[in-house]
Amino acid sequence: MKEYEAQIEKLRKDAAECAFIRDLATDKAKRQVFDRLFKQLTTLADQVTISMLEQSKATET
């Protein structure tokens, strides 16, 4: 479980960095790329979190 949590934390940090770069970018194409990366990393972190919770519930029953 701790491995999952560490990976989720890394994904969220990477997403935050992408958002930061996106917000600082002056080039429209660069903003779009980093916005897309931010959204994808956030979605991936959410999916891993959900999977981890489902797995946790399955082992409890």
> 3-state class of 26 per DSSP?
coil
Domain ranges of the chain: 2-60
Does residue 54 or residue 25 have the better pLDDT? 25
Residue 37 and residue 43: Cα distance in Å, rounded?
10
Taking 70 as the threshold, does the pLDDT of residue 61 lie above it? no
Give the CB-side neighbour count of residue 45, counting CA atoms within 13 A: 18
Per-residue pLDDT tens digits for 2-24: 888 999 999 999 999 999 999 99
CA distance 42 to 52: 15
Q: Is the pTM of this model over 0.85?
A: yes
Do 12 and 56 form a contact (C-beta atoms < 8 A)?
no
